[in-house]
């Protein structure tokens, strides 16, 4: 008995499960899916596979399979926990500041006043600046010898001698967070503004009729109605902050000491300076896992009544 | 079913294939040249490109060999080269930094050149630290491309204004003179040190340590940095005191990189600075510096148990292992190495032109006697002091396959000590422990 060719049975199976329109759609999306599989899915899966090997590019002939050692070594590494702590501090600082500032600016832009369009346009400038340029600008501003911040404070008589900014480990992380916030506030503002604009005006009118003062209207109508906007901002900015690298690379290279040694910096050093691809991949996966877990937590918490 | 080794081989092959695909575009011309025979593939970072091209053209004319020249920016050079090595891209001769020599040699990517007597003959003309810097495990891996050392520079006007007739010759004198300058309001922080975590940091540290008579490691490569007498404690203690006790070095030094430090010194903020010697040309250029004509070099101040020693570094022409594996290819590569790193037409032409063109230092002593070079040096510096200091330069004693891993911990430890988080002794103990652990794992 002759067996059916594999291609033919596949075609029959396709016909059985998908109608003509679905098959046509599959045909059209197949090239894109193949490309995505090749450039996104495969590298992600392959890097996970690599995380089980001790791979150092400068030691090409010794790449043993080490099971979960790369992951376990991380938990034993004091510097890794320092990086986790710094990352959490940076994220909390940044996301809180971004959310509060973006809310204030969004409330301002939601009002009608002269020059509102100009303010809106100016607000977008930080967002349009690439992160590397942003970092170089802040490096110049914070420089302890010739920085603009020292110049300004000195001329205004706020300080009597030039201060050390990034070199002072107590200030390092907040100052980097400040540069991050400056860049991220515009996008967060837009997201919150959209949320604000979508609040039905009837609610405010009804509240006014009931005699609710401004603060009550804000806390009982505005804030609860913006829950979706807040969720978007918090999830997006948390992800951005956790994996942020550019500012740390250009401003401090993880220093002084370990003051700005965050996870993204640790991953960079391990992978691209030490060329340890196995442990670098393991760190990246842990970071991704934490990011997913956080996003899930935020969605569960804030999204419950959306 | 594949076992662990099988999987590892598969992965390695994949890495090779990926890297090979990545560099295929660059490699194709070289492949064609090899196919035709008589080609030498030459990889450098993007420095003195026109000069390299013209010198390579002269080589082609003189030997009839073809040079396939390619370059990539310094910042990406190491990563690009590692990728090419892993991908087995065709390469014969390349520029190598002394910092990468152990890892490239251990990985089997570059090959010693000491079997070529014609090349080894140049060692008698080279500074000892240059030859040392090109040597790993007793084998020499190249011939000089460019060298320099960390110099102690000062602003002559500030010194005179403070009432001193000569620059400090010891680190104690640096403190004394700096305190006078502070008192007279000449400079808030008379001494400039760039201690930011960047690639220059080890050179700054090494210069301080060597001049204090200390070392990071002994002749066996074991850590001695934590040793109270033989190690680096005196140097780190001096910096910690200079920042926190005497306040003659800005606490901002931990965020100051070499370039920022250079700018600050060039703008007249400081009286003394540790900077690469080649920066003297820029510092005495009125178009680029406010202290032009006043920037001088003195011998490295010495510590109580030290000397005027400093650290030197080396970039050299190396030969790839794949070229060394083929006798004809290796011979051609050796000819190119000699043409660039040794003499061409009976003279150190490339190194001389490199110095006259971009001010890059040379490691061969006879060039100090060349009138054109002396004239050029004396136009912005004192050639005698330069020659004297260069003779006292020593190679870095931490250049090992695990240098990169250790450097991160060491840099953070020094910075923590400067910031007062831990004592110099604890910082160096931590650094030494990391060194020992990495060495035992290697």
Q: Is B274 within the bounds of a domain?
A: yes
In this structure, the answer to whether residues B107 and B36 fall within a common structural domain is yes
d(CA A103, CA A192): 7
Instruction: List residues in chain B touching A: CB distance below 8 A.
Output: 4, 7-8, 11-12, 14-15, 79, 82, 86, 103-104, 106-108, 188, 196-198, 250-256, 260, 263-264, 267, 269, 401, 404-405, 408-409, 411-412, 415-416, 418-419, 421
In this structure, the answer to whether residues B139 and B197 fall within a common structural domain is no
Cis peptide before A256 (omega within 30 of 0): yes
Residue at which a domain ends, from B356, B376, B393: B393
Print the domain residue range for B110: 8-148+315-393
Pairwise pLDDT comparison (A1 vs B115), residue with the higher score: B115
pLDDT at B33: 46
Tell me which chain A residue has its CA closest to the CA of residue B269: A145
Residues contacting residue B47 through CB under 8 Å, at least 6 positions apart? B71, B74, B358, B360
Asked whether the beta carbons of residue B197 and residue A255 sit closer than 8 angstroms, the reply is yes
d(CA A23, CA B212): 77
ipTM of the complex: 0.73
Q: Is the pLDDT of residue B118 over 90?
A: yes
Look at residues B271, B40, B42, B317 and name the one whose alpha carbon lies nearest to residue B152.
B271
- Take residue B150 and report the two structure tokens written for it: 């960390």
pLDDT at B36: 44
In this structure, the answer to whether residues B419 and B368 fall within a common structural domain is no
Q: Is B1 within the bounds of a domain?
A: no
Tell me how far the alpha carbon of residue A277 is from its chain's centroid: 23
pLDDT at B10: 57
Number of domains making up chain B: 2
- Interface-testing mutation among A43, A86, A167, with chain B (most B C-beta atoms within 10 A): A167
Q: Is B2 within the bounds of a domain?
A: no
Tell me how far the alpha carbon of residue A188 is from its chain's centroid: 12
Among the partner-chain residues A58, A144, A252, the one whose CB lies closest to the CB of B82 is: A58
- Least confident range from A209-213, B314-318, B364-368: namely A209-213
- Interface-testing mutation among B96, B252, B442, with chain A (most A C-beta atoms within 10 A): B252
Asked whether the beta carbons of residue B255 and residue A59 sit closer than 8 angstroms, the reply is no
pLDDT at B442: 78
In this structure, the answer to whether residues B274 and B401 fall within a common structural domain is yes
Asked whether the beta carbons of residue B107 and residue A60 sit closer than 8 angstroms, the reply is yes
CATH of the domain at B302: 3.40.190.10
* pLDDT tens digits, B6-43: 444 455 565 555 555 555 544 454 444 454 457 899 99
Asked whether the beta carbons of residue A144 and residue B419 sit closer than 8 angstroms, the reply is no
Pairwise pLDDT comparison (A14 vs A282), residue with the higher score: A282
CB contact A58 to B (< 8 Å): yes
CB-based burial label for A117 (10 Å; 0-12, 13-18, 19+): exposed
d(CA B405, CA A188): 38
d(CA A245, CA B80): 21
Pairing between β-strand B110-111 and β-strand B310-320 as defined by DSSP bridges: antiparallel
In this structure, the answer to whether residues B303 and B333 fall within a common structural domain is no
- Tokens 């894109």, located at residue: A32
Per the DSSP assignment, residues forming a β-bridge with B180 are none
Q: Is the pLDDT of residue A6 over 70?
A: no
What are chain A's domains? 6-50 (no CATH), 69-305 (1.10.3720.10)
Q: Is B3 within the bounds of a domain?
A: no
**Chain A to chain B Cβ contacts (< 8 Å):** 113
Tell me which chain A residue has its CA closest to the CA of residue B4: A65
Using CA of residue B18, residue B22, residue B25, residue B27, what is the dihedral sign?
Answer: negative
């Amino acid at each position: 008995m002759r067996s059916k060719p594999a291609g033919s049975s596949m075609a029959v199976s396709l016909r059985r499960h998908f109608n003509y329109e679905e098959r046509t759609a599959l045909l059209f999306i197949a090239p894109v899916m193949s490309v995505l599989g090749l450039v996104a899915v495969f590298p992600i899966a392959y890097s996970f596979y690599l995380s089980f090997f001790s791979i150092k590019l400068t030691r090409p002939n010794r790449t043993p399979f080490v099971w979960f050692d790369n992951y376990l070594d991380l938990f034993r590494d004091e510097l890794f926990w320092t990086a986790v702590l710094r990352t959490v501090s940076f994220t909390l600082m940044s996301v809180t500041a971004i959310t509060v500032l973006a809310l204030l600016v969004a409330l301002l832009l939601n009002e009608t006043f002269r020059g509102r369009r100009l303010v809106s346009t100016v607000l977008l400038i930080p967002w349009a600046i690439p992160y590397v340029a942003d970092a170089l600008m802040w490096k110049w501003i914070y420089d302890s010898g010739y920085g603009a911040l020292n110049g300004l404070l000195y001329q205004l008589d706020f300080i009597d001698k030039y201060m050390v900014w990034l070199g002072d480990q107590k200030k390092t992380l907040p100052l980097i967070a400040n540069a991050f916030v400056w860049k991220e506030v515009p996008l967060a503002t837009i997201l919150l503004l959209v949320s604000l604009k979508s609040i039905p005006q009837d609610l405010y009118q009804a509240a006014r009729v009931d005699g609710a003062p401004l603060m009550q209207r804000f806390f009982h109508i505005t804030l609860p109605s913006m829950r979706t906007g807040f969720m978007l901002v918090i999830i997006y900015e948390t992800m951005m902050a956790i994996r942020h690298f550019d500012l740390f690379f250009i401003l401090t290279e993880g220093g002084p000491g370990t003051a700005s040694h965050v996870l993204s910096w640790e991953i960079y050093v391990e992978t691209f300076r030490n060329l340890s691809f196995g442990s670098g991949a393991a760190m990246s996966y842990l970071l991704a896992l934490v990011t997913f877990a956080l996003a899930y937590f935020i969605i569960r918490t804030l999204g419950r009544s959306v | 079913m594949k076992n662990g080794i099988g999987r590892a081989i598969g992965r390695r092959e994949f890495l090779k294939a990926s890297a090979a695909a990545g560099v295929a575009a660059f490699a194709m011309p070289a492949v064609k040249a090899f196919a035709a025979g008589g080609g030498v593939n030459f990889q450098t970072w993007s420095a003195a490109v026109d000069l390299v091209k013209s010198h390579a053209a002269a080589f082609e004319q003189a030997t009839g060999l073809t040079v396939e020249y390619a370059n990539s920016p310094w910042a990406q050079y190491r990563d690009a080269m590692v990728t090419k090595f892993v991908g087995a891209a065709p390469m014969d001769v390349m520029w190598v930094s002394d910092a990468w020599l152990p890892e490239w040699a251990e990985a089997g990517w570059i090959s010693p050149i000491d079997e070529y007597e014609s090349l080894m003959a140049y060692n008698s003309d080279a500074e000892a630290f240059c030859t040392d810097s090109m040597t790993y495990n007793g084998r020499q891996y190249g011939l000089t491309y460019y060298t320099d050392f960390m110099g102690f520079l000062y602003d002559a006007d500030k010194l005179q204004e403070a009432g001193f007739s000569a620059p400090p010759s010891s680190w104690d004198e640096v403190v004394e003179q700096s305190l006078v300058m502070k008192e007279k309001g000449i400079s808030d922080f008379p001494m400039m040190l760039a201690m930011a975590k960047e690639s220059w940091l080890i050179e700054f540290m090494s210069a301080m340590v060597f001049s204090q008579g200390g070392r990071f490691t002994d002749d066996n490569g074991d850590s001695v940095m934590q040793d109270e007498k033989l190690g680096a404690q005196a140097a780190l203690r001096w910096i910690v005191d200079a920042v926190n006790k005497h306040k003659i070095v800005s606490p901002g030094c931990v965020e100051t990189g070499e370039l920022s430090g250079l700018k600050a010194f060039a703008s007249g903020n400081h009286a003394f600075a540790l900077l690469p010697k080649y920066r003297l040309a820029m510092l005495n250029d009125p178009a680029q510096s406010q202290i032009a004509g006043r920037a001088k070099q003195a011998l490295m101040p010495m510590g109580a148990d030290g000397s005027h020693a400093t650290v030197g570094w080396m970039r050299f022409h190396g030969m790839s292992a794949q070229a060394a594996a083929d006798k004809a290819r290796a011979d051609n590569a050796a000819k190119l190495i000699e043409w660039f790193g040794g003499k061409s037409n009976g003279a150190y032409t490339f190194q001389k032109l490199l110095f006259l063109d971009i001010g890059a230092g040379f490691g061969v002593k006879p060039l100090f006697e060349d009138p054109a070079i002396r004239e050029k040096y004396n136009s912005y510096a004192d050639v005698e002091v330069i020659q004297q200091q260069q003779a006292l330069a020593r190679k870095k004693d931490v250049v090992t396959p695990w240098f990169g891993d250790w450097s991160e911990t060491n840099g953070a430890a020094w910075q923590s000590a400067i910031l007062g988080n831990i004592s110099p002794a604890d910082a160096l103990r931590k650094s030494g422990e990391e060194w020992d652990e990495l060495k035992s794992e290697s």
